[in-house]
Amino acid sequence: MKNLIIVFLAYCYFAPVKAQDANITTQLYDSYEKYKEPTLNKRRIKHQDIQPLLAAFAKNPKFKVTKVGSSIGGKSLNLVSIGTGTTDVFLWSQMHGDEPTATQAIFDILNFLDSPDFAEEKQAILSNLTVHFLPMLNPDGAELFQRRNLLGVDINRDALRLQSPESQTLKRVRDSLEADFGFNLHDQSTYYNAERTEKPATISYLAPAYNYEKDINEVRGNAMKIIVFMNSILQKYAPGQVGRYNDDFEPRAFGDNIQKWGTSTILIESGGYPEDTEKQEIRKLNYVSILSAIYTIAKENYKDIPISEYEKIPENDRKLFDLKITGATYELMGKPYKIDLGINQVEVDYEDHNNFWYSSRIWDQGDLSTYYGYENFDASGYTIRKAQVYPKLISNMEALKALNAQTVLQQGFGYVRLKNIPKEALNASFPFHIIGEKFQTPDLNLKPGINPTFFLEKEGKLSHAVINGFLIDLNSDSLEIPNSMIFR
């Protein structure tokens, strides 16, 4: 009976909070396209891409734009501030250069704050809070689309030594603001899932511990309450797709230390979402949940949220593949075996780091019954067959384009020899691989690390191909894949 009373009281506290903010959350989601920054429409954004936006906000009297530091490569680090309230909220993003989703969302939020809409809600935010944004803390890493800065340092593990100027800037800004709340904004691998489910961890949270004992004081407790609130929002738009990071104390990490220094710190990690390669839906979820959190901080509604709800968010797990093939028959040394394959479609940047192509790999194989896939194929009754080489040497690209790709694949050919492969070509735009005159294709020897290329046969007929890790239905009208490989 006592437990039922506790649950009921928790509901009585928590339900009004959700009800009060549900309306603005729905409106934010429905009106998002009005505020989405159109110049930032892909993940590989650079320092130069945000400079015109910062310059425009610098001329806007609503905002204060301050240069607060420089990267190792000399790129400016800027702080954008708005509001007159006594509670300071500090958001920083892209301390890892290849984690830009929240950087885009920050500029969407700034556009929202600049608009005349939602006047009552914005009055509550800007009169009670001063909100500070430090987008793109690691612009040199962003230029190369890499995690670390030019020193090769993970900025998020430099909170003690402060070796890097970017780390020094983050510490100096946090200290000068004495921020009450901090949002530490990241991207995580798309292969994380919510524990024991097939659903990706589209957004993951953490209220970092400030000591090895993982104590919960008021500062950390407030971060947990905000996370519980944000989770309740996301369940409407990405049900079951929220995870929670392990909270083991990491003494070098900024999140853990900023929590220790007195700022209620919320770590947000943007993961994967089906068919959202550029993470634009996840960007929208960042926008909605962060703005809603800022609003509930301004209204102080979070104070009534029970901390106990935080532990109910499922932990992050890492058991997702891009493609999971289950129960296929694989013949080895004359004997048949049942095997599952976990395939990841690995991105490879072009030299300018503005775009990418895929070089896929078998990531794991065997019994993968505890793993999941964004795409799943039940291959029970199917046998894996080696991809053969097309018997004719093709002289040039024009002749290659004239081939009927469906006929080539239906005959079991996954490789086509090309006499003159363009020197500048890194990959191919065909649903089969291009190989040089002397290239010897490998035997069918499935193992982690190799490029997944083979056919699936059922009842003596080839029905599917896997080319560069992409599953192709040979009877489909569309055989397109993002790219195949070139083997010279």
- In degrees and rounded to multiples of 5, residue 148 shows phi and psi of -90, 170
- DSSP letter for each residue of 69-115: EE-TTS-EEEEEEEE--SEEEEEEE-SSTT--HHHHHHHHHHHHHHS
Task: Please give the Cα distance from 246 to 126 (Å, whole number).
Answer: 34
Confidence of residue 131 (pLDDT cuts 50, 70, 90): very high
pLDDT of 37 reads 98
Q: How many helices (H) and strands (E) does the chain have?
A: 11, 25
User: Is there a single domain that holds both residue 119 and residue 139?
Assistant: yes
Residues 156-187 pLDDT 10s: 999 999 999 999 999 999 999 999 999 999 99
- Buried residues in 157-173 as b, exposed as e (16+ CB within 10 A): ebbeeeebbbbebbbeb
Residue 485's nearest CA partner among 339, 375, 382, 387 is: 387
Are residue 269 and residue 333 in the same domain, yes or no? Answer: no
Picking from 483, 358, 486, the residue whose alpha carbon sits closest to that of residue 418 is 486
Where a domain ends, among 290, 317, 344? 317
Q: What is the CB neighbour count within 10 angstroms for residue 425?
A: 13
Contacts of 189 (CB under 8 A, 6+ apart): 271, 272, 318
Residue 9: pLDDT above 50?
Answer: no
What's residue 23's pLDDT? 79
In the numeric block, which tokens belong to residue 95?
């301390």
Residue 7: pLDDT above 60?
no
Closest CA to 207 of 162, 235, 180, 246: 246
Range of the domain at 431: 320-487
In this prediction, residue 1 carries a pLDDT of 43
Identify the sign of the CA torsion 81, 85, 86, 87: negative
Residues 247 and 372 in one domain: no
Closest to 466 in 3D by CA, of 449, 478, 486, 484: 484
Q: What percent of the chain has pLDDT over 70?
A: 95
* The two three-digit tokens of residue 131, written as one number: 């909100």
270 has a pLDDT exceeding 60: yes
Taking the CA of residue 141 as centre, how many other CA atoms within 13 Å lie in the half-sphere pointing to its CB?
24
Pair 298, 217: CB distance under 8 Å? no
Q: Are residue 370 and residue 475 in the same domain, yes or no?
A: yes
pLDDT of residue 363 exceeding 70, the answer is yes
* Reported pTM: 0.93
Which of these three, 269, 289, 317, is where a domain ends? Answer: 317
Q: Quick one: three-class SS letters along 148-211?
A: CCCCCCCHHHCCCCCCCHHHHHHHHHHHHHCCCEEEEEEECCCCCEECCCCCECCEEEECCCCC
Distance (Å, rounded) from C-alpha 295 to C-alpha 464? 51
Shared-domain flag, residues 176 and 301: yes
CATH classification of the domain holding 291: 3.40.630.10
Please check whether residues 125 and 145 belong to one and the same domain. Answer: yes
Residue that finishes a domain, picked among 297, 317, 337: 317
**Residues 179 and 311 both lie in one domain:** yes
Instruction: Work out the mean pLDDT of the chain and round it to a whole number.
Output: 95
Residues 283 and 379 in one domain: no
Structure confidence at residue 63 (pLDDT): 98
Q: Is the predicted pLDDT of residue 297 greater than 90, yes or no?
A: yes
pLDDT of res. 22:
66
pLDDT of residue 183: 98
Instruction: For residue range 47-95, list pLDDT tens digits in order.
Output: 999 999 999 999 999 999 999 999 999 999 999 999 999 999 999 999 9
- 306-346 pLDDT, tens digit per residue, is 999 999 999 999 999 999 999 999 999 999 999 999 999 99
Residues 97 and 125 in one domain: yes
- Report CA dihedral (223, 224, 230, 235) to the nearest 10 degrees: 160
Q: What mean pLDDT is predicted for residues 354-376?
A: 98
Q: Do 378 and 445 have their domain in common?
A: yes
- Domain count along the chain: 2
Residues 118 and 139 in one domain: yes
pLDDT tens string 429-457: 999 999 999 999 999 999 999 999 999 99
pLDDT beyond 90 at 13: no
Place of tokens 């500090």: 90
Q: Both 243 and 371 in a single domain?
A: no
Task: Count CB atoms within 10 A of the CB of residue 221.
Answer: 17
Q: What is the pLDDT of residue 8?
A: 39
CATH number at residue 391: 2.30.40.10
Residue 107 clears pLDDT 60, i.e. is over it: yes
* Burial environment of residue 2 by CB neighbours within 10 A (0 to 12, 13 to 18, 19 or more): exposed
